[in-house]
Structure 1
Amino acid sequence: MGTEVDVLDAGAGPPVVLLHSSVSGNRQWKALIAELRDRHRVLAINLLGYGSTPPWPGDRPQRLTDQAALVHAVLDGIDGPVALVGHSFGGAVAMRAAVELGDRVGALVLLEPNPVALLRRAGRDDAFVEACALRDHVQGHGASGTWADAAPRFADYWLGDGAWDAMPETRRAAFVAALPPNRHEWDAVTDPDLILDDVAPTGAPTLLVHDPATRRPIRELAELLAAARPGWRVHTLDGGGHMAPLVRPDLVNPVVAAFLAAAFLAAS
């Protein structure tokens, strides 16, 4: 698509692409990069609208394949198998990229991915409606430019009740500034044409990580994906919450590193 991708490139070895969550950025992977860089070339992408990666133009609804194009761009000229690690929205992007990359994917790690359109197709209407209520809240305020009014509900939903009130003012300002790309990301994960085979590969070793006490749409997605792809490995992470890759990397990173090591060892 010709977009210049803002990517942090560190280390050497089999490539691992890291895809961050909404309202975050590739900086969320600082600890995981330190964990992996001695064994892997780590490519931590800033998705559309984050860092210096250009924002989505908004001329049509964004789709996951639009974000997956960033993965193809950073892998251009890199040979051999690749691992993808994605969190939340980045997990949904990683799923789509893995389908598009096919046999090139040596491992896929999904940390509470959120392609919530699959809930509607599976008849999990209450969970889908809950996700869409937050979508409508964000997109409504996005249309009017009132991002500061969108932020408290978004923060409390994903970070936990009371998270917004507990934030210092500097963190609140940064949170509000990072929120606009999410308006378009909701279009991608609620795409009415999205089906399971568009985002759930069958050939790559895949690890699905979730907190059993996470928000309902993510919890039900994990149940749905585990049932639909029985070959995937599922790891429950008690107490981490949806934002565990940021707030509890001590819980998440050893699980990710061990899975990648086993996948690449098995392939060698």
Structure 2
Amino acid sequence: MRSTETAEAAAVAATVPPAGPVLADGESARTVRLAGLSLVVRSRALPAGAEPALYVHGLGGSSQNWSALMDKLAGIVDSEALDLPGFGHSPPPDDGNYSLAGHARAVVRLLDAERRGPVHLFGNSMGGAVAVKVAAARPDLVRTLTLVSPAMPEVPPQRTAWPTGLASVPGLPRLYMRATRDWPVERRAAELFALCYGDPSVIDERTRAEAAAEYQRRLELPYFWDAMIRSTRGIVNAYTLSGQHALWRQAERVLAPTLLVYGGRDKLVSIKTARRAGHAFRDSRLLTIPDSGHVAMMEHPELVARAFRALLDERAGVPGRTEPGTGPSAAVAGS
């Protein structure tokens, strides 16, 4: 990704087909077509003049992962969330590049094409690592950075994260598919909830049914496993990079005020990395939610929204409204 990369000539917007994403009240969606790339973008717009925000989902996720937080921030920012190439309702990229750098280029190209930057940039898990790369390479595009359980290198990773990483090993995904081919989609969705949520019992039946239906739709996509496997390999490969391309080194280059959010029950990103992250990002504040899992913006959107509003107040110099425990390098018991 080059900092001198110019804006796309124009983004061509088209109506999302009837089989497009399930939208929450107040949301709309469109497809942005770029050379070799089509991205579905979910919006929750405000009247002109509001500062823009862009949300980047994690591995296996979609723009819908941000709907709850976008709702909590309605009236605060002009929100858009994209489906990364090959995920959600976005088709695969023409070049088949699912590396973190490839996903970051897609984000940059979208922002350049639509001239929305600088934005309040949010990222979860893999999307958090992607957001770090964007913020480090293109500081002109980022007002603030909010990272929810960002997939930053951790050695050794906690044991509950090993199965996800093993998806990058040639042959193992095929063995997994054979071993689970008789699983009903409801079981697959339940396994995903158990992996990502601190307390899956809070998920209502409607949400479970919608998640199962969406899981079934994705399984039927011819590129589903390719996008998952290649993106997982992209994460693993990024963890092995050294020098200026190393993710932790790139975190040190981020200039934007940064909010770090970690869950005490996260099975994929250990809360132990929060301390290192707090030191790596030069202008950081930390929110820890003891009861949360890997997707705090879905499980505890009100707490994440509150911390983000405190960040905005701090940035604007509003006195006396900073949330308890937020501020540079501070930790919050959020529940």
TM-score, with length taken from structure 2: 0.64
Contact 1:208 1:234 in 2 (8 A): yes
**1:209: how far off?**
0.8
Q: State yes or no: 1:72 paired with 2:102.
A: no
- Number of the residue aligned with 1:159: 197
Q: Out of 212, 215, 231, which is 1:175 matched to?
A: 215
For structure 2, which runs of at least 5 residues remain unmatched after alignment?
1-34, 182-187, 219-223, 319-335
Report whether the alignment pairs 1:111 with 2:148: yes
Please say which of residues 214-223 and 42-51 is displaced more in the overlay: 214-223
Q: Is the 8 A contact 1:68 1:96 kept in 2?
A: yes
- What does 1:29-108 correspond to in 2, within 5 Å? 29-56=66-93, 59=96, 62-76=98-112, 77-78=114-115, 81-108=118-145
The superposition leaves residues 164-192 of structure 1 with CA deviations (integer Å, 9 ceiling, x where unpaired) of xx985663353354473332221222122
The match for 2:164 is 134
Name the structure 2 match of 1:8.
42
Q: 1:96-148 CA deviation, whole Å, 9 max, x = no partner?
A: 11112124321000011113xx22xxxx32x2675343221476564468288
**Residue 240 of structure 1 aligns to which amino acid in structure 2?**
S
RMSD (CA atoms): 3.4
Give 1:17 deviation, angstroms: 0.7
Contact 1:103 1:204 in 2 (8 A): no
The 8 Å contact of residues 35 and 257 in structure 1, kept in 2 or not, is answered as no
Q: Can you give the 5+ residue segments of structure 1 that lack an aligned partner in the other structure?
A: none
Indicate how the Cα distance of structure 1 residues 101 and 252 shifts in structure 2: closer, same or farther if over 3 A, else same: same
**Contact 2:292 2:300 (C-alpha < 8 Å) held by counterparts:** yes
Give the conservation status (yes or no) of the 8 Å contact 2:160–2:267: no
Higher RCO (Cα < 8 Å, 6 or more apart): 1
Question: Given the alignment, which residue of 216, 224, 231 partners 2:276?
Answer: 224
One-letter amino acid matched to 1:111: V
Q: Select 1:241's aligned residue among 283, 289, 293.
A: 293
Quickly say closer, same or farther: Cα 1:63–1:240, change in 2 above 3 A: same
CA contact (8 A) 1:82 1:106 kept: yes
Equivalent position amino acid for 1:4 in 2: S
Instruction: Provide the C-alpha distance between the structure 2 equivalents of 1:138 and 1:144, rounded to a whole number of angstroms.
Output: 12
CA contact (8 A) 2:70 2:79 kept: yes
Aligned length: 256
**C-alpha deviations, 1:179-227, integer Å up to 9, x for none?**
7333222122212225122345331100101123323643233232123
What does residue 252 of structure 1 align with? 304
For the residues of structure 2 that align with 1:204 and 1:104, how far apart are their CA atoms?
A: 10
Q: Tell me by how many angstroms 1:6 deviates.
A: 1.0
- How far did residue 162 of structure 1 move? 7.5
Pick the structure with more helix per residue.
1
5 Å matches for 1:195-206?
195=246, 196-206=248-258
Query: Residues 160 and 184 of structure 1: is their aligned pair in 2 closer, same or farther, counting only changes over 3 Å?
Result: farther
The change in CA–CA distance for 1:135 and 1:161 in structure 2 (over 3 A counts) is farther
- Counterpart of 2:102 in 1: which secondary structure? helix
Equivalent position of 2:325 in the other structure: none
Aligned-partner Cα distance in 1 for 2:179–2:198: 18
> Contact conserved, 1:141 with 1:147, CA < 8 A, in 2?
no
Measured in 2, the distance between the counterparts of 1:59 and 1:249 equals 33
Deviates more, 1:154-163 or 1:1-10: 154-163
Change (3 A) 1:41 1:171: closer
Report the identity percentage.
24
Instruction: Report if aligned partners of 1:147, 1:176 keep a CA contact under 8 Å in 2.
Output: no
In structure 1, give the amino acid aligned to 2:211: R
Could you say if the C-alpha distance between residues 227 and 143 of structure 1 is closer, same or farther in structure 2, counting changes exceeding 3 Å? same
Consecutive aligned runs of 4 or more in structure 1 exceeding 6 Å deviation: none
Name the CA shift for 1:84/1:135 in 2 (closer, same or farther; >3 Å).
Answer: same
In 2, Cα distance between the equivalents of 1:111 and 1:67? 17
The answer for the alignment partner of 1:207 in structure 2 is 259
SS of 1:233's equivalent in the other structure is strand
